[in-house]
């Protein structure tokens, strides 16, 4: 058991740090949940991608540096420590890309991944529907076979980034006669500007259009945009959900940097004893999340699958993120009410954590039933 | 970077677990709580034979020269089985003796501590655990840089702990002067960190045992015609305990690898809070049976509370975390 990095990993980290120091914007970009901010973030993603920093663990042919998981973790630590902007390409990079690596065709990877890496094509997720939250088996939007592809109709909602994104991915019911509700679903990618698509932005709590409703009316999706076999969407999506909740949705680096900033804020405010324990817990929590992730990555690299353990992860970081931001807002005193600070933006963002990617209630059920072996019961 | 236990470390944990399961520790704990040490001494020598007290003692003094990771592995198992006695204190005393510039006391005392022939205690606060049975009672009077071998404590002086198996004694003043000077302060600091790390490991073990027992219980106990473990409220409380314990485990082994004061303090507060959260859940989910002294769960419930304050309470440990350096990588 060790926490030591190889010379190669250290050199990579040093190179990343030097590049970030030279390139990270001097002042924060506008919120990526606004049209102006979205554009500014796209420009930043392109700058990152130009020197292959946007997707460091990907194969070189798609724009990566093949660093592996440990390299990715190290890069993320440097990235957030440098105060670099949030990633507008996150949905595509952490949700769609792992699915394409596992289940896509080489043609799909070659076509979809490079423009994802550069921010030229930004992806929105389109899982949820008005009547289906964590219960994806109850999806109703349908895909009907047609010449050379599918005609897709229905309604998706809570589609993160869809207000300004270019394309989306999601599950559609392709076989309404299937014997079980989670069978007969097909995983599709589609263009948000295709004929028949209407995007209605939805303001989140602070009014910013962080997600959108999608109305789909006979939208044509060519066969080449089906991921895996038709009817296999559930299985494919579940492996993506494992990724989503697992190692790459929230990097430990983000919380380590945030906890350092919080400790700085606390000191700046004269180290008030009233916040002492909460600030300490934020520092400890970031370290705990980093070490837990290193342990999970070590097991993963030894060949273990992430499986239900990623549910531990998801509950932890989502609740940690809220506690950290609440502490910061409390420390800010009267300024804590101001919606214009980075802390306020982070706070609003954090509130969604326990709700999306499978609510924390569902995650706790998974922990109890699959890790502790408790009996299934009424929800 | 390979942050998982290796096969040898896992095998060591498994063999200790098997030995302690066979030893039937609950009856030993109950004897110990009454001040009857015979069964505890027998268990102590088995633990010593497994190498636990020799682990971090240098080889020149009859030790194994292993690292803190192995020590943590061992103490998680000792906590899981609620083993009583000055276990933490003995390894902390060994660390203190190892840390002195003057090798005299180490030569004299470390071999007997490593072999299990002697037990040690020392007082990180006002009380020393089990000072009526420990042969080596180390004390550094406040405001001095002197290390004494204190006289035995009388059984009459015992202070009750919230955990009946933890028998606390004020150490009598005086005794034999073992060492003096700044070396004592340095060595005492080393001993404090070692004791704190072992306590954190013990607390994690206590929490893991409480979770295991409670999961088993709610799977068997029925209400309204179904196992209570099928109720979502019950599941979620245990899921939260599992999450707290697994993240504490990561912090604990991270601290074993870095051994910085801030990391060890973080491990102490995280493991103890996780164990205590689990204890509260365990008590609630067992209902009235869990609130009785006769049911074995009590042996872990009371320890979870007591360990929270032993070797530096949450406030003190959190302060150390905040005084640590900013950048962790």
Beta-carbon-side half-sphere exposure of residue A303 (alpha carbons within 13 Å): 0
Q: Is A51 exposed, middle or buried (0-12, 13-18, 19+ CB in 10 A)?
A: exposed
Residue A86 has pLDDT above 80, yes or no: yes
- Rounded mean pLDDT, A282-310: 91
Which residues on B lie below 8 Å from A369 (Cβ)?
235
Q: What is the pLDDT of residues A309-358, one digit of tens each?
A: 889 999 999 999 999 999 999 999 999 999 988 999 999 999 999 999 88
- At residue A379, the pLDDT reads 61
Average pLDDT, integer, range A250-268: 95
pLDDT class of A180 with cuts at 50, 70, 90: confident
- Is residue A165 within 8 Å of A191, Cβ to Cβ? no
**CA-CA-CA-CA torsion for B252, B253, B256, B258, nearest 10 degrees?**
-100
Statement: residue B326 has pLDDT above 70? no
Q: Best interface-test mutation with B: which of A287, A290, A304, A315 has the largest number of B CBs within 10 A?
A: A287
- Please name the residues between 179 and 218 in chain A that touch chain B, using a CB distance below 8 Å: none
**pLDDT > 70: what percent of chain A?**
97
| Residues A154/A129, Cβ–Cβ less than 8 Å | yes
> What is the longest distance spanned by two Cα atoms in chain A?
69
- A373 and B219: CB-CB below 8 Å? yes
- Residues of A involved in catalysis: 244
- Torsion, Cα B124 B127 B130 B133, to 10 degrees, reads 100
Q: Which of A3, A276, A364 sits opposite B235 (nearest CB)?
A: A364
Residue A303 has pLDDT above 90, yes or no: no
State yes or no: pLDDT of B328 exceeds 60. no
Percent of chain A with pLDDT over 90: 84
Q: What distance lies between CA A314 and its chain's CA centroid?
A: 11
Interface probe for B, chosen from A71, A75, A375 (most Cβ of B below 10 Å), is A375
Tell me the sheet residues that pair with A172. Answer: A186
Q: What is the mean pLDDT of residues B31-58?
A: 97
CA distance B213 to chain A (A): 11
pLDDT, averaged across chain A: 93
Neighbours of A335 (CB within 10 A): 12
- A375 in contact with chain B, both atoms CB, cutoff 8 A: yes
- When pLDDT is cut at 50, 70 and 90, the band that residue A250 belongs to is confident
pLDDT tens per residue across span B104-119: 999 999 999 999 999 9
Instruction: Specify the pLDDT at position A304.
Output: 82
Touching A: B residues 249-308, CB under 8 Å: 250-251, 253-254, 257-258, 263, 266, 269-270
User: Which range among A21-25, A49-53, A126-130, A256-260 shows the weakest confidence by mean pLDDT?
Assistant: A126-130
Return the minimum-mean-pLDDT range out of A33-47, A128-142, B123-137, B193-207: A128-142
Other beta carbons within 10 Å of A334: 6
Strand partners, A78: none
Does residue A68 register a pLDDT over 50? yes
Confidence class for position A368, pLDDT limits 50, 70, 90: very high
- Please determine, for residue A158, whether its predicted confidence score (pLDDT) is greater than 60: yes
Which positions 281-300 of A are in contact with B (Cβ < 8 Å)? Answer: 281, 283-292, 294-295, 297-299
Q: Which residues of A touch B329 (CB under 8 A)?
A: 74, 77, 256, 290
Inter-chain CB proximity B326 and A369 less than 8 Å: no
What phi-psi label fits residue A132: left (phi over 0), alpha (psi between -120 and 50 degrees) or beta?
beta
C-alpha to C-alpha distances, B31 to A14, A284, B34, B166, B236, nearest whole angstrom: 58, 38, 5, 12, 36
Contact residues, chain B, for A368 at CB < 8 Å:
229, 235-236, 238-239, 242
Element (H, E) at B44: helix B38-49
In the predicted structure, residue A246 carries a pLDDT above the cut 60: no
What residue of B is the nearest CA neighbor of A361?
A: B236
Q: How confident is the model at residue A247 (pLDDT cuts 50, 70, 90)?
A: low
Tell me the pLDDT tens digit for each residue of B209-264.
Answer: 999 999 999 999 999 999 999 999 999 999 999 999 999 999 999 999 999 999 99
Alpha carbon distance A374, A369 (integer Å): 5
Point out the residue among B230, B242, B266 whose CB comes nearest to the CB of A287. Answer: B266
**H/E run at residue B226:** strand B226-227
Q: Does B248 touch chain A (CB under 8 A)?
A: yes
- The answer to whether B70 contacts chain A (CB < 8 Å) is no
Residue B321 contacts A where some CB pair is shorter than 8 Å: yes
Shortest distance between the Cα of B230 and any Cα of chain A, in A, equals 5
Give the three-class secondary structure for B133: coil
Work out the minimum CA distance from A306 to partner chain B, whole angstroms.
14
Task: Label residue A256 by pLDDT band (50, 70, 90).
Answer: very high
**% pLDDT > 90, chain B:** 94
A372 closest CB neighbour out of B238, B250, B257: B238
Using H for helix, E for strand and C for coil, what is the string for chain A?
A: CECCCCHHHHHHHHHHHHHHHHHCCCCCCCCCCCHHHHHHHHHHHHHHHHCCCCCCCCCHHHCCCCCHHHHHHHHHHHHHHCCCCCCCCHHHHHHHHHHHHHHCCHHHHHHHHHHHHHCCCCEEECCCECCECCCHHHCCCEEEEECCEEEEEEEEEEEECCCCCCEEEEEEECCCCCCCCCCCEEEEEEECCCCCEEEEEECCCCCCCCEEEEEEEEEEEEHHHEECCCCEHHHHHHHHHHHHHCCCCCCHHHHHHHHHHHHHHHHHCCCCHHHHHHHHHHHHHHHHHHHHHHHHHHHHHCCCCCCCHHHHHHHHHHHHHHHHHHHHHHHCHHHHHCCCCHHHHHHHHHHCCCCCCCCHHHHHHHHHHHHCCCCCCCC
**Residue A351 forms contact with B (CB below 8 Å):** no
Chain A partners within 8 Å of B2 (Cβ) = 1-2, 298
Residue A363 binned pLDDT confidence (cut-offs 50, 70, 90):
very high
Q: How many Cβ contacts (< 8 angstroms) between chains A and B?
A: 157
- Spatial strand order in the sheet of B136-139: B120-122, B136-139, B146-149, B176-180
The vertex-B305 CA angle with B78 and B52, nearest 5°, equals 15
A148 pLDDT tier (thresholds 50, 70, 90): very high
Rounded distance, CA B7 to CA B5, Å? 7
Q: Read off the pLDDT band of A241 (50, 70, 90).
A: low
Distance CA B241, CA B281 (A): 8
Query: Which residue is listed with tokens 């902390």?
Result: B92
B 226-245 residues with CB below 8 A of A?
226-227, 229-232, 234-236, 238-240, 242-243
A360 Cα to chain B: minimum distance (Å): 10
Q: C-alpha angle with apex A6: A5 to A7, nearest 5 degrees?
A: 120
Put simply, whether B215 touches A (Cβ < 8 Å) is: yes
Instruction: Give residues 37 to 56 of B whose Cβ lies within 8 Å of A.
Output: none
Chain B positions in Cβ-Cβ contact with residue A373 (cut-off 8 Å): 215, 219
A243 pLDDT above the threshold of 80: no
pLDDT of residue B325: 73
* Confidence (pLDDT) at A182: 84
Structure confidence at residue B329 (pLDDT): 47
Comparing CB atoms, the residue among B219, B232, B318 nearest residue A280 is B318
- Compute the nearest-CA separation of A315 from chain B (Å): 8
Chain A within 8 Å of B329 (Cβ-Cβ)?
Answer: yes
Dihedral angle computed from the Cα positions of residues A359, A363, A364 and A367, in that order, rounded to the nearest 10 degrees? 180
Q: Which residues of A touch B253 (CB under 8 A)?
A: 1, 291, 295
Question: Per DSSP, what are the bridge partners of residue A153?
Answer: A142
Mean pLDDT of B170-183: 94
């Amino acid at each position: 058991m060790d926490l030591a990095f190889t010379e190669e990993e250290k050199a990579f980290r040093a190179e990343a740090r030097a590049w970030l120091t030279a390139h990270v914007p001097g002042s924060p970009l506008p919120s990526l949940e606004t049209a102006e901010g979205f554009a500014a973030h796209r420009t930043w993603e392109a700058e990152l991608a130009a020197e292959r920093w946007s997707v460091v663990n990907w194969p070189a042919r798609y724009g990566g540096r093949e660093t592996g998981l440990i390299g990715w973790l190290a890069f993320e630590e440097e990235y957030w420590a440098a105060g670099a902007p949030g990633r507008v390409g996150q949905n595509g990079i952490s949700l769609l890309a792992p699915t394409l690596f596992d289940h896509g065709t080489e043609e799909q990877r070659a076509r979809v991944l490079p423009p994802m890496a550069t921010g030229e094509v930004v992806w929105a997720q389109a899982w949820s529907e008005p009547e289906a939250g964590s219960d994806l088996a109850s999806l109703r939007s349908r895909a009907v076979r047609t010449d050379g592809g599918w005609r897709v109709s229905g309604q998706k909602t809570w589609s993160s980034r869809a207000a300004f994104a270019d394309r989306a991915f999601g599950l559609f019911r392709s076989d309404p006669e299937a014997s079980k509700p989670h069978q007969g679903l097909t995983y599709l990618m589609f263009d948000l500007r295709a004929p028949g698509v209407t995007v209605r932005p939805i303001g989140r709590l602070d009014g910013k259009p962080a997600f959108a409703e999608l109305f789909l009316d006979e939208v044509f999706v060519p066969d080449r945009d089906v991921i895996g076999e038709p009817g296999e969407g559930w299985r494919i999506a579940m492996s993506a959900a494992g990724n989503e909740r697992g190692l790459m949705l929230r990097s430990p680096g983000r919380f380590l940097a945030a906890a350092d900033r919080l400790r700085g804020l606390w000191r700046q405010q004269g180290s008030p004893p009233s916040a002492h324990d909460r600030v300490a817990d934020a520092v400890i929590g970031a370290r705990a999340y980093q070490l837990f992730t290193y342990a999970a990555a070590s097991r993963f690299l030894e060949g273990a699958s992430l499986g239900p353990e990623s549910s531990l992860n998801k509950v932890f970081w989502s609740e940690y993120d809220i506690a950290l931001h609440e502490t910061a807002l409390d420390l800010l005193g009267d300024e804590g009410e101001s919606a214009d600070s980075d802390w306020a933006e982070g706070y609003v963002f954090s509130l969604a954590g326990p709700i999306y990617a499978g609510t924390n209630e569902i995650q706790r059920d998974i922990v109890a039933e699959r890790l502790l072996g408790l009996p299934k019961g009424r929800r | 970077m390979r942050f998982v236990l290796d096969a040898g470390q896992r095998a060591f944990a498994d063999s200790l677990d098997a030995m302690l399961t066979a030893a039937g520790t609950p009856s030993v704990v109950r004897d110990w709580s009454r001040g009857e040490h015979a069964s505890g001494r027998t268990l102590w020598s088995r633990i010593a034979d497994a190498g636990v007290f020799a682990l971090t003692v240098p080889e020149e003094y009859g030790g194994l020269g292993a690292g803190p990771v192995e020590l943590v592995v061992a103490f998680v198992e000792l906590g899981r089985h609620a083993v009583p006695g000055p276990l933490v204190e003995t390894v902390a005393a060994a660390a203190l003796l190892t840390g002195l510039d003057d090798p005299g006391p180490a030569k004299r005392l470390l071999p007997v501590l490593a072999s299990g022939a002697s037990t040690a205690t020392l007082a990180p606060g006002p009380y020393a655990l089990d000072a009526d049975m420990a042969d080596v009672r180390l004390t550094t009077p406040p405001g001095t840089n002197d290390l004494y071998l204190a006289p035995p404590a009388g059984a009459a002086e015992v202070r009750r702990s919230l955990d009946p198996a933890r028998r606390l004694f004020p150490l009598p003043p005086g005794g034999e002067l073992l060492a003096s000077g700044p070396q004592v302060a340095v060595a005492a600091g080393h001993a404090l960190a070692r004791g704190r790390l072992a306590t954190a490991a013990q607390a994690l073990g206590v929490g893991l045992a409480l979770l295991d027992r409670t999961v088993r219980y709610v799977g068997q106990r029925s209400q309204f015609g179904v196992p209570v473990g099928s109720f979502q409220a019950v599941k979620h409380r245990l899921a939260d305990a599992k999450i707290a314990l697994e993240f504490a485990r990561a912090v604990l082994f991270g601290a074993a690898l870095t051994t910085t004061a801030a990391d060890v303090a973080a491990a102490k507060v995280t493991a103890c809070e996780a164990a205590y959260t689990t204890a509260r859940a365990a008590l609630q989910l067992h209902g009235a049976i869990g609130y009785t002294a006769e049911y074995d769960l009590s042996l872990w419930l009371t320890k979870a509370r007591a360990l929270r304050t032993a070797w530096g309470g949450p406030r003190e440990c959190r302060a150390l975390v905040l005084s640590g350096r900013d950048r962790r990588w």
